[in-house]
Structure 1
Amino acid sequence: MKKSLALLLVAALLLGVFALIGCNKPAGTDAQQLSVCLIVPYSFGDKSFNDSALEGAERLKEDYGIKLNTIECKNEGYKQNMMNAAEENDFVIPIGWEFSEIKSVAEEYPDTKFIWIDNVVDGIESSPNILCITYKQNEGAFLAGYIAARMSQTNAIGAVGGDDSEVINDFMTGYEQGAKYANAGINIYTNYAGDYENPQKGKFCAEKLHQKGADVIFQVAGNTGNGVFQAAKEDGFYAIGVDQDQKISASEYDDVIICSVKKEVGNSIYDTIRAFIEDETWDGGQNRVCGMDEGYISIAYGNSESKQQISEDLKNDVAALAKKIAGGTIVVESSK
């Protein structure tokens, strides 16, 4: 009888301990009740920036069971689409500068959390339901420029931008610095398509740069950049991809894409919402800057099935430079 009583007391004590542990553990969020809406200004299918964001959101759905919605604005109705999304979702994630009216929308929907990708709200500190995420794309572009200059046989390289904007020019600044780090006498030519959804414009821009002698051309133009790859394949020069590993996402151009600047948009979205789900962490009212030191910016060379145009020695040199950038030994210039 005494033994049975002792066992009961031990069991009760253990239950009490477990209960205390449970009280100290964050409650977390029921992910299956969480609704997330991803909004892009044009459409998905660019094989780079927008598709990277979608990949991260889809992993959240697969891993945590969130409800995922998407909106393609088709170049119109940016504010209205944000408002529509805020009516029905816990998180609204607009991708790109086109959603500049996000602050006024967030004020109308204080219970909805907004994650603005690649841009910063003026006076972000006064918007607790907005988190801005920006990237040190100049760091990855530095490595792309270094590779381009080392790979060039004509002493001329190029870059095609989607538009003449702050983020694109940040790429251009890093690209030029990296190229000159490799070869101070390299010729660098750039132009802007003025469009992110027109491969024909990208092709035309790349052809113009190639006519000037550029035999390695970096594309920073979304779906328009796929035209750069087309020109490279037809005219016989090399190209560098952006945002995703485009030797994989645009594998039909694997023979001309030598590498890509990976900008882990999808991972930054995934990590932000995962932290909210698991720890109820929300860093609203600030700008989070993602760089090479955190693994959000890198150079990608495809997979084991991809054609490798870059030598192992050059890859090793690039890896060494990446460590210096991440560690602060090399400071990459920025246009911001």
Structure 2
Amino acid sequence: MKKIIHVHSDNKFIHDSERYTDESFINEIMILDSKNSSNKEYHNKALFYEPIPDNLNKILAVANSADALVIYNLDFFKSQIVNRVDKRVKIIWRFFGTELYSRKPHLYLSTKSKSFFVSRIVKSKVKSTFPFFFHYEKSFYRAIKRSDAITCTFKDEYEHLTRHWNHLPTLIPLASEHHRNYSSKIDFKLDYPKKNIVVIGNSRAFYNNHLDSLELVQRSKHAQKLNIKVLFNYGTENTYTHEVRKRAKLAGVELIDSFIAPNKFIDFYGPVAAFINNSYRQLALGNVFMALHKGVKVYLNSKNPTYQWLEGEGLYIYNMEILENDLKTGQVYLAKSEIEHNLKGLKKLKEGQSKSDFTLQVLELLNE
């Protein structure tokens, strides 16, 4: 049996370690945080260390007992662990997105969004061009080279990343069947027709490029007959979000600011007709799958690798380029036959990327 230590710093994603549940693995959880009310359920199930320099040697002593570390979100402190752990220990990087996308934001922001982040974009370009001048950047890119594998949900995203970043480790695709948003039995008896609800984005994150979507809404007279909402209940507030609030008010669009509990969010997309995500990068994959599972018409930007992947798998996914016309004509609903087609496509997708395939690839890596 192989011992795997899962290194987390965000409680929301600790459940992701369950992907490695198998008789071949001994799994341990390490949380880089102090014990508090938000992680109470793990107080007796995980090792806790605050991510401070004084604890680094203690963490390494534990990490060196493992056959592999799974690093969830490769930040600066975790980069130090990766760079100093014994070379015998395999490193699997659970890619979150922000680690790389935040380093080249100019690739993922629309012209409207870029105008709010000129200084950030300039700084990121300098750091990307001359990373060896910046301690944090040197440590991060060294950790990437040290990593033995990276896990992403789909190959299209990995191929996109390799076009913009060098020295990425080998890909191990994540098992689709584990995805909690459609891992249960697929329900083909959905309520139909849908209500006239249209949801934009998944958070306050500027990668949603909200302003472009809201402009399309403002230009459409028929949109006034729709109940349009923007998911805006988490993320940093800044000048960009203030402008989104302003534009949403002008367009008569509702902002969902309050937290939605996970057990209630499962049913959030039930009455929703369409979900719009204008991101140029992989973002809100959980929302996309949940929406598809609930028979929602999903609009994605064609630059988004998720659009390319799902369209390539044969699902009905719609390009942002047709959104304006669909808003004008009210064609923001899927036909029942299209819903059933997408549900069958999700089932096929689930069967195509199995947990057993994922486990086998991890074992092969650990046995090298």
> What interval of TM-score do these two structures reach, taking the shorter chain for normalisation?
0.3 to 0.5
- TM-score, reference length from structure 1: 0.39
Higher relative contact order (CA 8 A, sep 6+): 1
